[in-house]
Structure 1
Amino acid sequence: MRPPHVLTQTTSRVLEPSDLDAALAILDRDPVANAFVTARVQIAGLDPWRLGGEMWGWYEHGMLTSLCYAGANLVPICATQRAVRAFADRARRAGRRCSSIVGPAGPTAQLWRLLEPGWGPAREVRTHQPLMVADRLPDDMAPDPYVRRVRKDEVERIMPACVAMFTEEVGISPMAGDGGLLYQARVAELVGSGRSFARFDADGKVVFKAEIGAATDRACQIQGVWVAPEYRGKGLAAPGMAAVLRYALTDVAPVASLYVNDFNTAARRTYLRVGFQEVGAFMSVLF
């Protein structure tokens, strides 16, 4: 294996597999905010084909200090202002290949300001999405005993709820484009790994569901929280989330996180009831 690149100038470049340890050290600075990218890198390394995108690195005086994941999402990671400018220059030259820009609110906002003249307009910009964490179960909220792991033979039963959640959240159907092949594969992957959870009614319909979408040994990220419309307002969300949180903290990682749209006041109240606390904010730019 070749030794890692040592640069003596301030510059950016595409990282290579030999840079893995240095990249992981950057990701480890904020295990909660970086859980999504860290989980991918721990599984795939830095090979672009396996990773599903490139990892860009920013060097200050020869030391790697910031990262940017450039795949289906463009994600600035521990990015300084100078790093963001360099990543924006690289992104402009490459042209937009991502479906969203997402990450900590400050660097993401700066990145979008630099890219908007060439990449805009966006379909939607969500400037403030509270990042919330929990490291213990709530004392006053019993987990819903009917929320359980989705079995591998139940992928077709959970899929309509996943499609409905995605469409409500993102504004477009995940079945567009490739007919939903990639999305169905992702749902099946989460079910197969035991990270998809749901409550079914007597007829086998999903009434509540959520997934643990990214997982490392230090933090995991809950996503895709959804209650069937006819069951909303009936008190299912908080006990359901408590059940998923129990699985997360018991089986996956010592800290569970999620991020939520600031305008979704009902969801934010639910997460606070379950014991989540705001620790920062994300921003998303959707194309």
Structure 2
Amino acid sequence: MLRTPAARILDEADEPAVQRLLAADPVGACVIAGRVEVAGTAPVSLGAPLWGVGDGDRLDAVCLAGANLIPFAAPGAERAAAVAFAERARRAGRRCSTIVGPSAVVGPLWELLAPAWGPCRDHRPRQPLMAIDGPPAVAPEPRVRPVSPDQLEVLLPAAVAMFTEEVGVSPLRIDGGAGYRARVDELVRAGQSLAWIEDGRVLFKAEIGAVSRGACQVQGVWVAPALRGRGIGTACTAAVVEYARAVIAPVVSLYVNDYNTRARTAYRRVGFREVGEFASVLF
């Protein structure tokens, strides 16, 4: 009887194998790839353990076990990876606020973890992963610009509103929002936060929350409620794409809830196409 391979904690010696695995899908692996490119694969420098399934120079799957549990597996290895990661996650106990990644591995991973970790607060099993590798198909809104550090206080209320609306809980509930504020400030200072701000009011905002050499991932897209339904989000997202491709990475991606038909239609107008599927489990 064959045993499912166990997941092990990777170290700096595994970095070439990790990079080879992630390079097979720069869009789907963008979040982990960006972290590895900056910090390597040693747990101390990465800030969280990186679990791996495979031997020697070949890895079939990895999982970043930090504030978010982020699995990634080669095609065909998803089920075995889920079994291995679930075993390790059960032993470690839940320390993450979200499980997120390609649905082919997140789905079976959550099935195995649910008896020990459930119930979750929300399960979003189908989130189309979309990408664009050329100019936007609509004219960009020229008033969308990188947020400057002196605009942080103007941006924060919109960022909190977006997070609360999308995730279902306020980011201010933990540590009074200090950690969330620090993250928003980090993105602003890195030139990865863009907004249309007029008369001290945020009309649109988005962040480029994950960056690797091959791709970046747009997160936190938000339009002021009073302005929704006017096409503002489409033109503003086009501006984000134009900026990101010129300054950050050649491919721009994002994922969206399958039931958000308005957003999916807007992203298609911009030129995004569906290239995969993500899933999220929120605690």
- The DSSP-based 3-state class of the residue aligned with 1:146 is coil
| Residue 26 of structure 2, aligned match among 31, 45, 54 | 31
In the alignment, structure 1 residue 249 sits paired with structure 2 residue 245: yes
The 1:273–1:58 alpha-carbon spacing in structure 2 relative to 1, beyond 3 Å, is same
User: Which residue in the other structure is 2:158 paired with?
Assistant: 161
The 1:92–1:154 alpha-carbon spacing in structure 2 relative to 1, beyond 3 Å, is same
Counterparts of 2:119 and 2:59, CA distance in 1: 32
Shift of 1:112: 0.4
Per-residue CA shift, 1:135-158, capped at 9, x if unaligned? Answer: 11234x110011111011111111
In the alignment, structure 1 residue 144 sits paired with structure 2 residue 144: no
In the alignment, structure 1 residue 47 sits paired with structure 2 residue 42: yes
- What is the alpha-carbon root mean square deviation over aligned residues? 1.5
Counterparts of 2:229 and 2:57, CA distance in 1: 55
- The DSSP-based 3-state class of the residue aligned with 1:11 is coil
| Residue 260 of structure 2, aligned match among 261, 264, 267 | 264
User: Which residue in the other structure is 1:4 paired with?
Assistant: none
Contact 2:121 2:282 in 1 (8 A): yes
In the alignment, structure 1 residue 17 sits paired with structure 2 residue 15: no
Counterparts of 2:156 and 2:210, CA distance in 1: 19
Counterparts of 1:281 and 1:250, CA distance in 2: 26
User: Which residue in the other structure is 1:103 paired with?
Assistant: 101
In the alignment, structure 1 residue 188 sits paired with structure 2 residue 185: yes
Shift of 1:159: 0.7
Using structure 1 for the length normalisation, give the TM-score: 0.93
Code of the aligned partner of 2:178: L
In the alignment, structure 1 residue 132 sits paired with structure 2 residue 130: yes
- The DSSP-based 3-state class of the residue aligned with 1:180 is helix
Code of the aligned partner of 2:53: W
In the alignment, structure 1 residue 65 sits paired with structure 2 residue 56: no
Shift of 1:62: 7.2
Counterparts of 2:145 and 2:120, CA distance in 1: 38
Counterparts of 1:185 and 1:234, CA distance in 2: 32
Gaps of 5+ in 1: 1-8
Contact 1:10 1:62 in 2 (8 A): no
- The DSSP-based 3-state class of the residue aligned with 2:172 is coil
Shift of 1:200: 1.3
- The DSSP-based 3-state class of the residue aligned with 2:200 is coil
Contact 2:208 2:217 in 1 (8 A): yes
Shift of 1:63: 3.3
Aligned residues: 277
Counterparts of 1:178 and 1:26, CA distance in 2: 36
Per-residue CA shift, 1:202-256, capped at 9, x if unaligned? Answer: x210000111111112101011100011111222101100100000111111110
Counterparts of 1:10 and 1:73, CA distance in 2: 23
Per-residue CA shift, 1:163-221, capped at 9, x if unaligned? Answer: 100000000111111111111111111100111111112x2100001111111121010
In the alignment, structure 1 residue 224 sits paired with structure 2 residue 220: yes
Greater CA drift, 119-128 or 173-182? 173-182
Counterparts of 2:69 and 2:39, CA distance in 1: 17
Using structure 2 for the length normalisation, give the TM-score: 0.94
Contact 1:99 1:286 in 2 (8 A): yes
- The DSSP-based 3-state class of the residue aligned with 1:230 is helix
Shift of 1:74: 1.0
Counterparts of 2:228 and 2:59, CA distance in 1: 47
Code of the aligned partner of 1:197: L
Counterparts of 2:160 and 2:274, CA distance in 1: 28
- The DSSP-based 3-state class of the residue aligned with 2:8 is strand
Shift of 1:48: 2.4
Per-residue CA shift, 1:32-71, capped at 9, x if unaligned? Answer: 0111111111112223243231100112587322111111
Contact 1:11 1:60 in 2 (8 A): no
- Identity over aligned pairs, percent: 53
